[in-house]
Every structure is written in C-alpha cells, then in structure tokens.
Structure 1
Amino acid sequence: MKKKLLVLLLLFILIISGYAFYSNKDTDDIAKIPIKTAVRNLAMEYKGMNLVAPIKELKNSTLESLKENQVNAISLIPYAFVNIDDASVNYNNDRQWWGEKTEGIIASNKMAHEYKMTVMLKPHLWVNHDFYTGNLDFATVKEWEHWEADYEKYILEFAKLAEEQKIELFCFGTELGNSVAKRPEYWNQLIHKIKKIYTGKLTYAANWDDFDKVPFWDQLDYIGIDGYFPLSNAEDPSVEDLNASWKKHIDKMDLVQKKFNKKILFTEFGYRNSNHAAEEPWTETKNEINNLAQANAYESLFQSMTQKDWFVGGFAWKWYADDYHKKSKNNIDYTPQEKPALETIKRWYQ
C-alpha cells in the first residue's frame, strides 16, 4: 500500500513539473515568470526614463518615485529652438523651463547621481512652423553652414558640460535624418570635436525609419534608436500579435548591429494609452483611452528586444517631474505614470 502511494505521489510530481515546464514556454505568460525575466534583464544596462524637465526645480520625490519603479537611468534634455527662417539655433532662453537650461541640467544631474542613477544628456530641437526635425532642410549652402555653426556651438557647450559634470552618456543629436544624409562631412567633423572634449559614452538618436542609413555608427559607443516602430493597426492588439510584428524590425536591427559591431540603445521608446497605441507610436491623433493597449505594447517590446544580447535597454518616453500632467481631461499621454503600463515596466526593470 505504501509502495502504491509512493508511486502515485511520484506521478503527481511529474505531472505538475511537466505542466510548469510547458507553461513557462507560453509567451503570453512570460511576464509572470520572475526568474526568466531577471535573467533577460541582465542585458538591460539602461532601465531608463526620459525626464520631462521640471519647470522650477527637481524634487527628491520625483527621483524617489523613479527608484521605486526600478528606474536606474534618466535622460536630461536641454532643448534648443531652431528658426528655419534665419537658420539659427537658440538655447538657454529666459522663457525656458529651469530643467531645460544649463543651471537645471547641472543640478538635476547632481541629484540623479546622489540617487545612484546613470544620466544621459540628450539635446533636442524644436523647429518653428511645426516642422519635424528629420525634415530640416535649407535651400543654400550658406544657410546650412550658418545653422551648422550654431548647432555645433550648442552641442560642444553641452559636451563640455557633460564632461565636467561626469555625465555618463552623451547623445549629440536627435532625429536629424535629412541633415545626416545631405551633410555627412559635417557630422564626421562634429563627432571628432566632441571626442576631444567628452570622454564618456557617445551615441546619436536616429529615428526608427532611418537608423540603417546613419554612416557614422562605427565612431560611436552605441547605435541609438528612437524605437517608435509601427507594429499593428489593430485597436487593441495582443502581446502575441505584437511579438510577431517585432520580428521584421529586429531582423533589420540585427543586420545593422552586425555591420558595425555595436550594441543597440533605445534612446527613446514608448506608447500612448490609447486605441491603436502600436500603429504609429510617434503620432498623437488617437483619443480613446486604452490602458491595456499601452501595457501590451510595452510588454511586447520587452519580450521581443530582451531576446537579443546586443540590446542594452533604453529610455522610455516619458516621465513628468512636475504634476501638471495630472490636470489633463482625458489623461491620454505617453507617460506610464499612474497607469497599468508602469507595473509592466517596473516588472521588467526589476
């Protein structure tokens, strides 16, 4: 009788073990497997957030909240403004928010380091006439050279600041595809000048649709991509469907990564909590709230990208330093703050 009970017990253990084994292979449940998730997360050096600059000061509570959600890196963004009418670049203006200017960058970096967080300095441009930076263009060489001189001054000033303040990562441009394509010599000499000033890690933020056309990845530490890849035109796509859509984009990244032998950093990535969140993630036209779509899109990104040992993580778009975003009537935005997507991010960053 005892022998029979022992055999039954062993069979029961085998059945339960087998069920657990096959359950662990189910991609829909992968987020519920902390051991597997932790192993994959070893590849994500940067578990980051792009910080929306504080208007007046950076509060300790902001950094504490980021740390509580397992964020280990933040991106600070010193904005500059391009006037295409006179081909100029202006920054550190009196009307800018504190966190966008030199004073705020220095103070925010110091605070982040006190919280043992890695910092990326990532200059961004606003272009007048509601112009996308990737389409920036000028009719004459004289105009190009005027803009390039202004931009170089802007970038080298913040490269010097990044060196002085021991900022670990410097991203010297964001989504400037047309300029990179038309004026490659300018970018080569700019990178050379930056390296004379700055000794930390260097990257550039290419848009998702032109990262394979950037010629200077071999001169940088990371291939930087703003990862707003289109994945599904469904209103509420499943994680499985999104995973299938990632494959063609990952294949393309594989080719570029192998060509330059550099790891890939998502300088930006994110989704709004709306219907069709993964259709064109760079747009803000969908206005029907859908928290699950946002969470599923994040889940799929992490499931898909962390399969690659060349993926070092990145910086989600975005995290508000101030509370003014809470006043939004429909609360549809890229930020995962106070949304189910934050739990997804926290689980993968943990």
Structure 2
Amino acid sequence: MKELFIKGMTYGWNTTKGAYRTPDAVASLKKLKETGSEWIALSFYTFQPSYSSTEIVFDYGHTMTDRDIEFAVKQAKDLGLKVCLKPVVNCKDGIWRARIGFPQEATEYWDNWFASYENFLLHYAELANELGCEMFCIGCEMISTETRVSQWERVIKKVRAVYSGPLIYNANHGKEEGVEWFDKVDLIGTSAYYPVGEKPDDSEENMIKNWEKVKTKMIKLHEKFNKPIVFMEIGCRSALGCATMPWDFTHVDLPYCEEEQEKFYSSVIKVFWDEPWFAGFFWWDWSTKLYLLEEAKTNKGFDIYGKKAEKVIQEWYAK
C-alpha cells in the first residue's frame, strides 16, 4: 500500500481576487468532489512586472486575498478534500515564468529577486500552516532560476521554519534533471505535458507506448533522489491535436475532440497508476466558474466537466 497517493485536481487557476468567494465557485468545488478527487491544488498567481524584474508585487486589483484563500480552503475541507497550496509568480509582460532570471554573474539582481521571492513564499507558507493545508508547493516551472542551488536551498529552509507539512516543487516536463536540489523537498513534482500523441487523435496504444518512455525517465529521477513523484500538472484540452501539445491553450481554432483528451487521460493513468514510487495526479484544471453541462460538447478547454475524460477519472478515482 502506498503511503501517499494523490487523486487530485487543480482548482481555481486563472481567476482573480474574489473569485473563490462566489456561488459559482462553491458549486464548482462540489462538482469537482463528485469526480472522486480527494485533493485540490489551490493555485493562484501574482505578478512581477517583467521577466527581468527583481520585485514581486502584491497587486490588490488581481491577487487573491488571504480571505479568498481561507474561504476556498475551508470550502474544500468541508467537502473532505485535502489542499496543496500553490502560489505562483507570473510576469505581467506575458513572458513565461520559466524565463524569470538574470545573467549568472549578475549576483545583486539574483539576490534581490530571491529576497523578494522568499518574502512572497513565506507569506503563503505561514498561511498554509495556519489553515492546515496538507501540502505546500514552493515553485512552478521556474526553469531559469533552478541552477541557483544554494539560494533555493535557503528558501526551502526558511519555508520549513514556518510550514510543518510536506513540500513539493513543480518542475517542467523535460527539465526535471535540471533540479539538483530535489533532495531538499519531500515530493518531486512536474508539469507532465509530455507530447504523447504523434498525430491528431492518435491511438491510445501509441500514447501508452510514449508514456512508457516517460516512465523510464521518471524511474531514474526517483532512483536518484528516492522521492515520490507527482504529476503536479497534467492534462490536455478537448481539441483535435492537443495530445501532441498538451500544454497548448492558444490554438482556439482547433476543432472539438473529447476523444483525444479521453485517451490522453486514460493512457497516462494506465502506465503510472500501480508504480510504487508514483504518488498521483493534480489534473489541469477545474474552473471556479463551470460552463453549463449542455455546453460540455462545445467547450475546448482543459476542463473535463461533462466530458468523456471525466468518466475516466471517476472510474479510476473510485478504485
């Protein structure tokens, strides 16, 4: 029996201040619970002005307030869900957070950024501890910062001083080997947007074959650090070709295809479910404001509500 297996879903991404505290959000969380999920990753973001800024700011017009987070955590716990609190930094200039960074020799810039990031993270780590969140995520896809080993180790040490639960870091698919300090966290997380489809609406057999290659890689990662591995983000949209680029959210013109999404879900679960070192999934993602059930057949987003992929999750999560 595994010590920990996360039957999870990311909840509440891409919303702004106040969104958790709406009737829509409360209703949505109840529907999330009906998938058989036992965990949510409560994921929200604040901004730094650009990828090369050294200061992370609390944007009162956008950033979730502590009251918002407290409300969402309480709602989740009332439903019997466990919570991984996942604060994320994005760039207001639209550049992906993986690019946040400076030339390696620009020590002062790095020091200033890490001081700001540490402040940002400690605020939420303390909040996570007070609210009894069962896990805390210390970062997401911060690829350009990951080589700063001693600075990350210092951040983790500081977080452990205020948060008593398990820590996870969310690397990016294909870049997991770049994180030398995975030994300092309790679980290895990754955004597992691996392009397992080779053509639009590829067969599940083909996707399974490609997940097996990913599994070989994950086994090596587990053996190196002896930590459980969690797919901290994983999923694809219900649009044709999305299993060839599961991270994609920009190609809104692609035709609807819930079968490809269904096969992506089913294939990865079949490959990883029984692995003793694998600790589960936080699927991407479940919105605070869901579309109407009859609109499921036209919704081309990541949400699985009312789609075939939801049935896949319900069947496996019931095990």
2:187 is aligned with 1:222: yes
Which amino acid is 2:21 matched to?
Answer: E
Contact 1:202–1:221 (CA under 8 A) maintained in structure 2:
yes
1:113 aligns to what? Answer: 77
Where in structure 2 are there 5+ consecutive unaligned residues? none
SS state of the match for residue 205, structure 1?
Answer: strand
Note the C-alpha offset of 1:258. 0.9
Distance 1:96 1:240, change over 3 A: same
Q: Which amino acid aligns with 2:8?
A: G
Question: Deviation digits for residues 162-199 of structure 1, max 9, x if unmatched?
Answer: 11111100001000011012x11110101111111111
Query: Over alpha carbons, which structure has the higher Rg?
Result: 1
Cα separation, partners in 2 of 1:125 and 1:205, compared to 1, 3 Å: same
How far did residue 61 of structure 1 move? 2.2
Counterpart of 2:255?
A: 288
Alignment of 1:21-170 (within 5 A): 45-52=5-12, 53=15, 55=19, 57-59=21-23, 60-84=26-50, 86-91=53-58, 93-96=59-62, 100-139=64-103, 140-170=106-136
Q: How many angstroms apart in 1 are the aligned matches of 2:300 and 2:91? A: 24
Query: What displacement does 1:324 show?
Result: 6.1
Given that 1:135 and 1:177 are in contact with CA atoms closer than 8 Å, whether structure 2 keeps it comes out as yes
Q: Give the number of aligned pairs.
A: 306
Structure 1 residues 325 and 317, CA gap change in structure 2 (3 angstroms):
farther
What is the letter of the counterpart of residue 169 of structure 1? M
What residue number does 1:195 align with?
Answer: 160
- Give the fraction of aligned pairs with identical amino acids, expressed as a percent: 29
- Selected match of 1:348 from 309, 316, 319: 316
- Aligned amino acid, residue 275 of structure 1: L
Over aligned residues, Cα RMSD in angstroms? 2.2
Matches within 5 A, 1:11-26: none
Contact in 2 for aligned 1:180/1:214 (Cα 8 Å): yes
Q: Equivalents in 2 of 1:289, 1:301: separation in Å?
A: 21
- Using the alignment, how far apart are the partners of 2:300 and 2:208 within structure 1? 24
TM-score when normalising by structure 1:
0.82
What's the CA shift string for 1:43-97, capped at 9, x where partnerless?
A: 8721111112562515442232122211111111231101235422112x32126
The answer for the alignment partner of 1:306 in structure 2 is 273
CA 1:165/1:213 → structure 2, altered by over 3 Å: closer, same or farther?
A: same
Contact 2:5/2:280 (8 A) holds in 1? yes
Spell out, residue by residue over 1:4-63, the C-alpha distance to the aligned partner (whole angstroms, 9 max, x if none). xxxxxxxxxxxxxxxxxxxxxxxxxxxxxxxxxxx9xx7872111111256251544223
Using structure 2 for the length normalisation, give the TM-score. 0.90
Q: Secondary structure at the match of 1:332?
A: coil
Give the drift of 1:239. 1.1
**1:253-292 paired onto structure 2 within 5 Å:** 253-286=218-251, 287-292=254-259
SS across alignment from 1:89: coil
Counterpart of 1:225, as a letter, is: T
SS state of the match for residue 68, structure 2?
Answer: helix
Counterpart residue number, 2:286: 319
Q: Which residue of 1 aligns with 2:212?
A: 247
Report the secondary structure of 2:29's partner residue.
helix
Task: From the two aligned structures, give the one with the greater helix fraction.
Answer: 1
